[in-house]
Structure 1
């Protein structure tokens, strides 16, 4: 395609159509990751996003061990391998999930047949928070962690985990906070262009943030919007 001097080449991304309920849920979810305490006594300094150091994103994705069409490099007199299955649904699949226990210590308030009053105990804390519907850009795994081949799946996943640089993870979580900030500006919509932060330059200069700061005015507007939904 020929481009003249007056034209600018741009790319666009197809985004999900958001229902009214989606637009309501998205700001609520994003505000849940903002510290409700301002940075100082001056409200003009804004509110900090949670650094998300204890946050785990799980992508419930099936990995197919084979695909319908597969190319082979063969000699001219070789026959193509015969591959038969009862149906496409019978392709062997694997799903990787992860979980990390979150617990708290507490003291028994009453005696029971199992333990006396005052016994120090431990219990699990439920911390599962599902993403808003039709919002793939609110899952860290869709913002920069991409999958490789499914051949020898377990070894490949382990290798990918070891190869993944810690700076890449930091970049993606900051990008997630950028997405949250943008959707709050759009009142829960997805009509935004993600701004460039020049993360590599910030890191070289020692100014890469642990978390982004949400402007006080935007926080107040978004909080008011959520109350009126």
Structure 2
């Protein structure tokens, strides 16, 4: 540090606090207060001019925004050769005429220095060979390869996250993620399946075979399923515990509140659907929606509140559904709706109402139900699907998921609004997509036959939308003869 020319024995000069300060004589500091450098005077006093320039240059680099940092651009050999040939065409080597490099730089959209460097490289290194890039083979950081077979050796419990798999393979997580984006391996979300006994699998195979029509000598074909009515119950919650949104960067996140996350308002509904009908031109003549019936009741309020007086009728959800309630809904709501909406030309054929094996469902030979189905000359029968087989019902296979997605586009606040949103989602669902679910069920039945009644299969994609756009969407799928003979 440089020496100071003052003596501690001398008395410091007096200073009058009333003397005004000449602020113009004091050098200022540009920029925000948090960027002040309290060692600035020391640097200026003790540093050489070259060191000060270095500090200034370092400050400029440190203050650059990362998004504005310009990276060096790579130019291919063909592009650089084209620039060099353009320079040769406009000048007489070895002298480059004035203004030629600027003109070529504007033509090719590159900096002037790039054009000048290409010219010097070509002149100093013997023409076009000197213009080519030098690093053309194995240059840069070496690629880290991952043995795909080594992934199969790692136990599935030890590869549930990128970090776990990276530790098992002995590579970095960033390297593993790069190979994942390149398609070297895939992510799989494993869903839990019902365990099925031998009797369950046998019942599933028998059900699938009953849906096939023997079309000898051609391959067997599935029943068109126009006379099957599917019924099932479904809970609809007022809101999800976790909901995904897409927000702007400066937008506040939505505020959702409930009194208890474990007791969100919900309503159970009974959905009744069959396969839609279309004419020869593809126009829907019956959407296949019989109805949706909520398990709710209406009663007057027992107390007054700031929102309503005492005795106001309100809608409440049933907390439990018994066998008596199921019988009442089937006899007094489902059957009248079927008889009202069924096509007149199909009235003579037998109609099968398929339900699952829940304990609250009535027996297929329930006397009250049988008496109601045989009235007025109707032939309606109640059947049960195989146990533990939600993939054999169009409601569980895709209809409920689609309705629930439409339902959660709204924001209901009470039971009445929940029921209103359910009805709106049910009746707005397109009939052509509902028809696709019936074809998906037929493809699932083919997979069940291939897997001997098992459940560990992937739902096949048959490109239904593409086939429908081309006018080639089938009504029923065919079963290969060898598969039919082998299962039979």
Name the structure where helix makes up a greater proportion of residues: 2
Q: CA RMSD in A?
A: 3.4
Aligned CA distance change for structure 1 residues 93 and 33 (closer, same or farther; 3 Å) = same
Q: Given the two structures, how large is their TM-score scaled by the length of structure 1?
A: 0.70
2:430 aligned residue? 165
Where does the alignment leave 5 or more consecutive residues of structure 2 unmatched?
A: 1-161, 163-176, 243-253, 273-333, 350-374
Who is 1:136 aligned against?
390
Q: Does structure 1 retain, via aligned residues, the 8 Å contact 2:267–2:419?
A: no
User: Could you say what secondary structure the match of 1:56 adopts?
Assistant: strand
What is the aligned counterpart of 1:190 among 438, 450, 455?
Answer: 455
Q: CA deviation at 1:92?
A: 6.7
Q: Distance in 1 between matches of 2:237 and 2:470?
A: 43
Deviation at 1:91, TM superposition (A): 6.2
Secondary structure at the aligned position of 1:14 is classed as: coil
Total equivalences in the alignment? 194
Indicate the residue corresponding to 1:208 in structure 2: 473
1:33-112 paired onto structure 2 within 5 Å: 33-35=211-213, 37-38=214-215, 42-43=216-217, 45-63=218-236, 73=255, 93-98=267-272, 99=334, 100-101=338-339, 104=348
TM-score (norm 2): 0.35
Q: Which of these two proteins has the greater Rg computed from alpha carbons?
A: 2
Partner of residue 194 from structure 2, selected from 4, 10, 16: 16
Q: 2: CA distance between counterparts of 1:31 and 1:217? A: 14
Q: Which whole-Å CA distance do the structure 2 matches of 1:73 and 1:6 have between them?
A: 39
In the TM superposition, what whole-angstrom CA distance separates every residue of 1:39-88 from its partner, at most 9, and x where no partner exists? xxx52x2111112123222122244568999xx849xxxxx88x59xx96
8 A contact 1:49–1:213 mirrored in 2: yes
Residues 154, 8 of structure 1: CA spacing in aligned structure 2 closer, same or farther, 3 A cutoff? same
For residue 377 of structure 2, give the secondary structure of its aligned residue in structure 1.
strand
Following superposition, the deviation at residue 28 of structure 1 comes to 0.9
Q: Is the 8 A contact 1:104 1:122 kept in 2?
A: no
Q: How far apart, in 2, do the equivalents of 1:159 and 1:141 lie?
A: 17
